[in-house]
Amino acid sequence: MGNKNVGAETEEEEFSIMRSVIFNIPNRITLSRLFLAIVFFVFLTYRYLDVALVIFFVAAATDWLDGYLARKWELSTDLGRLVDPFVDKVIICGTFIIFVDIAKEIIAPWMVITIVAREFLVSSIRGFSESKGVKFASNIWGKTKMFIQSWTICAMIIYYAHFKNISWAEYMVTAFMWITIIVTICSGITYVYSAKKTLLAA
């Protein structure tokens, strides 16, 4: 009887250890994306655009992977829920800040200020809402914004790597940038509206 109990406890300990290891994987992937972001910024700054594009795709893949594993293994954590969007904001804001130097003829400083300000605003609202015990989840506008921003970044890198000064390509990336700004502003407005009850009750 005692041996059976020992065996059961051993199995439980092994399962606990295994779960602890698995538990860390999605968060580790998220943190690895932060490292990739730094490497990406270096290559982008020094105009190694093809390499930067590959790193950006890898970072985007890890963004999908950590979320997929967290959902599949039911390992969503408060840490992951906070760190994942933080890393996304670092990548998006950092990239557009660098673009002010690379893409002067397409991206005006006010455009980047708008993008960064929106991220600060939504992060502040999220932090305030959750401090009041109100869940602040992403909506379709936020997901659409992230998708469009990512595609605009890809298009911009490809343009400056291979199609610079070609008229139709410049028109295309310029249009992408304006769409990005419009969707960014609209998504910010929707988040403010969705949190208005919490904000007005403060």
Task: List, as one string, the DSSP characters of 77-143.
Answer: -HHHHHHHHHHHHHHHHHHHHHHHHHTTTT--HHHHHHHHHHHHHHHHHHHHHHHTT------HHHH
Q: How far apart are CA 26 and CA 80, in angstroms?
A: 8
Task: Tell whether 45 and 107 lie within a shared domain.
Answer: no
195 and 125 within one domain: yes
Residues 67 and 123 in one domain: no
**Residue 8 lies in domain:** 1-77
Residue range 44-61: mean pLDDT, rounded: 96
Residue-averaged pLDDT of the chain: 87
Same domain, 132 and 57: no
Task: Tell whether the model's pLDDT for residue 50 goes beyond 60.
Answer: yes
**Does 135 lie in the same domain as 66?**
no
**Stretch 171-198: mean pLDDT:** 94
- Whether pLDDT at 21 is above 70: no
Residue 40 lies in a domain: yes
Same domain, 140 and 186: yes
For residue 62, the surrounding DSSP H or E stretch is: helix 49-72
| Whether residue 183 sits in one domain with residue 111 | yes
Residue 172 lies in a domain: yes
In a domain, 139, yes or no: yes
Instruction: Please tell me the total count of domains within the chain.
Output: 2
55 and 119, same domain (yes or no): no
| pLDDT of 9 above 80 | no
15: exposed, middle or buried (Cβ count in 10 Å: 0-12, 13-18, 19+): exposed
71 and 139 inside one domain: no
The pair of structure tokens assigned to 127 is 């932090």
- Say whether both 183 and 113 belong to one domain: yes
What percentage of residues in the chain have a pLDDT greater than 90?
Answer: 59
Q: Which of 20, 42, 77 is the last residue of a domain?
A: 77
Looking at the structure, tell me whether residues 55 and 125 fall in a common domain.
Answer: no
117 with 30, same domain: the answer is: no
Buried b (16+ CB within 10 A) or exposed e, 68-106: ebbeeeebeeeebeebbbebbbbbbbbbbbbbeebbeeb
85 inside domain = no
pTM: 0.83
pLDDT digits (tens, 9 = 90+) for 54-109: 999 999 999 888 888 878 877 777 777 788 889 999 999 999 999 999 999 999 99
